[in-house]
Amino acid sequence: MKNLVIVESPNKIKALEKYLGNNYIIKASVGHIVKLPSSGPHGFGVDLETWIPNYKIDPSKKKIIKEIKKELNEVNKVYIATDPDREGEAIGDNLVNFLDIKDKYYRIRFNEITKIAIENAIKNPQKLDLKLVNSQIARRILDRIIGYKLSKIMQTKIKNSPTYPSAGRVQSIALKLVFEREKLIKSFVSTKYKVISAKLENNLIAIFYLKNGKFKNNTWVDESQINEIKSKFSNELIIKNIEIKKKKEKKIIPFKQSTLYKKGNSSIGMSASVIQNTVQRLYEGYGEGGLISYPRTDSTRLSNTFVNHAKEYILNKYGKEYLSDKILGISGDQDAHEAIRPTSIKLTPKKAKIKFDLNDREYKLYKLIWENTMKSLMKVPIRENINYKLSELDLLYKLSYSKIIFDGYYKVVEMKEIDSKKEIKIPKFNIGDKFKVKKYNIEDKETQPPSRYNDGSLIKTLDDIKVGRPSTFASIIRILKKRFYVDMENKAMKITDFGNIVYKKLIEGFPKFMNEEYTAMLEKDLNEIAKGKKDYKEMLTIFWNSFEKQIEKQIEKTQVTIIPLEKSDKLCPKCNSNLVVRTNKRDGNKFLGCPKFPKCKHAEPKPGFEPKFIKKNFKKNNKK
């Protein structure tokens, strides 16, 4: 008899069929097969006494389940091959229960879609980890309770909102971070300072510095000191000291998901959702195996097997002197997988582009992952810094130069901007050498406010404060944008007026649930459940008792906020009222509607703006 393998994504089927052969049937669940209905107490879909979720088959998955069930009588074993994380474990558990295959299933896990990984998984079948399943159930119920309750309050307490306002365990903390960053920016008071430089002969520029200045940065000069310094300007500077130091560059750590988001956003300009979709395609591969390891990871460690293969590659290509003595990396809370890395270090970005016909985004992201992994396994570059210290009349200046004397991991980078490739020639001067000053320059400078969050930096911050999971980060960012809580300006998030209203309602009414430490504590509890150190039902009972009391206490105190609607000059043809600009809460489209809605349902397109829904509703509401 044949064996059945159930994966999450249909994109994995072709590669697994190739690796496993004709004795295996591969089917895809296409993600979760169940939904948590809005039924029972408070619409949570959960028994509040037993904390058992009332899962129902997702109607859109009935055909998929039917097709899988067809194969069950024809197979000997069923292998659950869902993703190697808590979410994948929960999907596997639901498959086992709803397919009724408790006596014939095996759980297999693989961190990459390669022949070796798949074959090893089949040779080492296991059972589902119910500790991980319980952790996912607890997370799902927490998010349902907090999201349903707080979102409903926001929707009843805010009128004329442009979208259906929502709140959530992680989403609301993300909104808080954006709000507080904007508050910092608005309250920021810049510090003015000056920078002095001397233009010398041979186009040399010496920078003035203070040993004991007002600022930490010794090249910053306070306005009050300028006149005294100018009075000591001379026509000649003399080298009084030469300082030569060697400095190692920063050690590179393999990517976890949050770091990849930040780097991908800053270096190649990709949004979180684009990165998420692209790395998923790279992981699943293109019918011939995956290009990278599992991307939804909070781990930065690399397996010994991969490290050994990679070291052999580096040794043969670059030599022993480039191999790192120490590889940095830590196991994450969900240590079912490794850091994000290539499945084969021999598959260089150029080879991958040709072999798999990668598009521009796929190529750039794969290149970023491949190079970062290589650099994490190689010795760091060494830089030589030379400072010529010049002075005259107690004023100090520096001529600073730097060059790379050992390229280390720069060897793998296309180094158009790395100075070791430019053959920089550092001038050789001696103590006592004199230079004529052609001109002194005094530049006005001022400190800048902190930068706004972009997709990557916000995800990195959420990860740093231990709020949220790798699998949810991109969706959290997407919700902030979809709800119109933030606008994007130069790829950075600026909180909107609507975002401000929602945040203030949440922080005033429910400060405990807008607290990073409390949210991180819940995340820690989920990790403890995953390790079997905490009972998920006890944890939910404690949470619910506290949550319910605070909600009931605050719901009556929370005031209704009515967002004023923009009036237009156009009059309603039915009641002669000035039409107002309204927003379709489902898609964000603007239209003109009667202020007396729902008594008067007249609606018409906003001039210069014709969303699809208006074409239908306009005709329907204006027949008479």
- For residue 575, CA distances in Å to 76, 142, 583, 603 come to 72, 47, 21, 12
Secondary structure (DSSP) of 338-363: --B-BS-TTS-HHHHHHHHT--HHHH
Contact 284, 316 (CB under 8 A): no
Is 209 one of the catalytic residues?
A: no
Q: List the beta bridge partners of residue 437.
A: 200
- Which 3-state string (H, E, C) describes 383-446? EEEEEEEEEECCEEEEEEEEEEEECHHHHHCCCCCCHHHHCCCCCCCCCCCEEEEEEEEEEEEE
Rounded CA gap, 467 and 453, in Å? Answer: 16
Tokens of 258: 């949050």
Q: Which of 19, 294, 366, 397 is catalytic?
A: 294
Backbone angles phi, psi at 301, to 5 degrees: -85, 160
* DSSP type of residue 231: T
Tokens of 304: 């010994």
Identify whether 605 is preceded by a cis peptide bond (ω within 30 of 0): no
Rounded CA gap, 245 and 430, in Å? Answer: 16
Tokens of 166: 């929502």
Which value, in Å, is the radius of gyration of the alpha carbons in the chain?
Answer: 31
Tokens of 145: 């309770």
Secondary structure (DSSP) of 25-50: EEEE--S-SEE--S-SGGG-SB-TTT
Amino acid at 545: N
Containing 77, the helix (H) or strand (E) segment is strand 75-80
Q: Would you call 181 helix, strand, or coil by DSSP?
A: helix
Beta strands in 113-221 (DSSP E): 158-159, 192-200, 205-209
Residue 597, burial from CB neighbour count under 10 angstroms (0-12, 13-18, 19+) = middle
Rounded CA gap, 356 and 368, in Å? Answer: 17
Residues marked active site are found at 294
